[in-house]
Amino acid sequence: MRNRRTLTALDIAALTLATIGAINWGLSGAANLNLVRRIFGRGSILERAVYVVVGLAGLDLAWLTARFISGGYQTPPPVTQYQPSETMRQFGQQAGEAAQKAQRGVQEAKETAQRGFEQATQPTPYQPYPPSRP
């Protein structure tokens, strides 16, 4: 048998059904409003089936509680600090160098564009007529 246990889909379904049943009981006691009876009709087979399923969910939760108290259900151990391998360190270093190289390339492209812009916006001497061809 496994030492550690997590909540199964059945446990989650049981928690959901038991919660719905508890809300129904609370409404029934506080406001005399039984939603299951109103939805499925008084004494119908569906009403009884809902009560049976909610009761089974309660039994599953009792079993879950017993497992928890006895130590059969435990939280997972704390996560240890991740230690990357040497290969991952080298890969990270190479990726960092590539990023720096790309950033330098972007900076050089900006400077080249700025120089081209400055040259294009330099005032040129006034020439009223285009130069003649020889």
CA distance 134 to 127: 17
CA distance 52 to 54: 5
CA distance 38 to 28: 11
CA 51 to chain centre: 35
How far CA 71 is from CA of 1, 7, 60, 63, in Å, comes to 13, 14, 17, 12
- Helix 9-31 vs helix 45-70: angle between axes, to the nearest 10 degrees? 120
The model's pLDDT over 33-57, given as tens digits with 9 standing for 90+, comes to 988 899 988 889 998 999 999 999 9
Q: Please give the DSSP secondary-structure letter assigned to residue 128.
A: S
The model's pLDDT over 58-102, given as tens digits with 9 standing for 90+, comes to 998 888 888 778 776 666 667 777 777 888 888 888 988 998 999
- Provide the whole-model pTM: 0.47
- Ramachandran category for residue 124: left, alpha or beta (phi over 0 → left; psi -120 to 50 → alpha): beta
How far CA 39 is from CA of 22, 24, 46, 48, in Å, comes to 16, 12, 9, 12
Q: Where are the domains of the chain?
A: 9-70
